[in-house]
A and B are shown apart, each in its own frame.
Chain A
Amino acid sequence: MGDLSESELLALFRVEESRNRAFNLLVRQYQQRLYGFIRRMVTDHDEAKDVLQNVFLKAWTGLDGFRADSQLYTWLYRIAHNESLNHLRRMKRGLFVSEASVVERLITTLDSSEHFSGDAIQRKLQRAVMRLPDKQRAVFTMKYFDGMKYETMSEVTGTSVGALKSSYHIAVKKIEEWVTNDQTRST
């Protein structure tokens, strides 16, 4: 069975009898894309799973109030974006550590993760992405990896297109420098 359109999913969800089935289809339809973004933000699979679960639980309770003034996918992505940032904030608060310590932890997780299949350059790239501040990492991930348009990113983050372009531009420069230097050091 192919993917249903957003309006079809919403129509199914609003009928009590088909609500559960619609939710199941919605999760199946969007889980991989949202997981990809969250995983890049928090690195660890188990943490990504928890965040993704929260995203869909919030969607379950919020879908009744969802008005189609934005796309369903954008709305879900916005929840995923906020939940990922909240998760990282909670992590810092829970560990009573600085930003740098959290980055160290993320990189360590990445290095020790058995669920990372990338080659050396991919690992370097991912380590460089981890060094970006959380919000800039989100911007870079949305644009570079997910190929999202700035207008959609603006809806997701609640930030102006101009600010997003600027943030992405700076992120690209930083990562290019870090990846290149890292390559130079390792060769």
Chain B
Amino acid sequence: MQQHDEHDELTGAPTLRSLPRKNPFVVPEGFFDRFPHAVQQQAIEAQRTAGRGWHLFGRVPPTRLVLGGVAALAVAIASWTFWPASPDEPGIAEVPWTSEELLHGGYDVELLYTELHPDLVEMDVVALPDDDATVLAYLEGQNLPLDLLIEQL
């Protein structure tokens, strides 16, 4: 029946119908004798490589483990981001700062400088001349750190 159907389908194709259906491709000699062994070695090697590093988890597939890890990480990030702060420990966002407080907060400026730039307090206050060339020559002579110079200027 199969053969009959096929002939019907080739009715309009006399050339195709007349051609012998032999396989014209030549396979290198001994290929099919060697191939099963070669592919089996590869399969065993692939299995060994895949199993390496996962033996502690027994037969748990790595995909499941990876998904579990990703889910745990997502929960941790969500908790850290959205967890409400305790009323006893107000978060940074809950401390209101006005511009007035920022400018005149009654903080000891000298103390702040000491805390922020401990080396700055050791420096002498020098009145800088207006002339740029003189200023540069002076600054070069002082061998000051560049970021500090920029900040001061």
Query: Which residues on A are within 8 Å of B, measured CB to CB?
Result: 20, 23-24, 27-28, 31-32, 35-36, 39-40, 45, 49, 52-53, 56-57, 60-61, 114-119, 121-123, 125-126, 143-145, 147, 149, 168-169, 172-173, 175-176, 179-180, 183
Please, how many angstroms separate the alpha-carbon atoms of A40 and B2 in the complex? 22
* 6 pairs, CB–CB < 8 Å, chain A vs chain B: A31-B32, A117-B24, A121-B19, A145-B23, A172-B9, A183-B15
Verify B16–A144 contact, CB threshold 8 A: yes
Count contacts between A and B, CB distance < 8 Å: 96
Verify A126–B24 contact, CB threshold 8 A: yes
Residue among B23, B32, B37 with the most chain A CB within 10 A?
A: B23
Verify B9–A168 contact, CB threshold 8 A: yes
Residue of B16, B28, B46 near A175 (CB, 8 A) is B16
| A27-B39, A56-B39, A60-B43 known; A35+B24 contact, CB < 8 A | no
Verify B27–A35 contact, CB threshold 8 A: yes
Please, how many angstroms separate the alpha-carbon atoms of A14 and B9 in the complex? 42
Residue of B23, B24, B28, B46 near A57 (CB, 8 A) is B46
Residue of A24, A61, A114 near B37 (CB, 8 A) is A24
Verify A32–B37 contact, CB threshold 8 A: no
CB A154 to nearest CB in B, in angstroms, measures 15
CB B110 to nearest CB in A, in angstroms, measures 68
CB A28 to nearest CB in B, in angstroms, measures 5
Q: Which of B15-54 contact A (CB under 8 A)?
A: 15-16, 19, 21-28, 31-32, 35-40, 42-44, 46-47
* B6 interface residue (CB < 8 Å to A): yes
* B12 interface residue (CB < 8 Å to A): yes
Please, how many angstroms separate the alpha-carbon atoms of A28 and B31 in the complex? 11
Verify A116–B26 contact, CB threshold 8 A: yes
Chain A residues with Cβ under 8 A from B109's Cβ? none
* B111 interface residue (CB < 8 Å to A): no
Verify B40–A172 contact, CB threshold 8 A: no
Verify B25–A24 contact, CB threshold 8 A: no
* B13 interface residue (CB < 8 Å to A): yes
Verify A45–B16 contact, CB threshold 8 A: no
| A57-B43, A175-B13 known; A115+B28 contact, CB < 8 A | yes
Please, how many angstroms separate the alpha-carbon atoms of A180 and B18 in the complex? 12
Please, how many angstroms separate the alpha-carbon atoms of A168 and B16 in the complex? 13
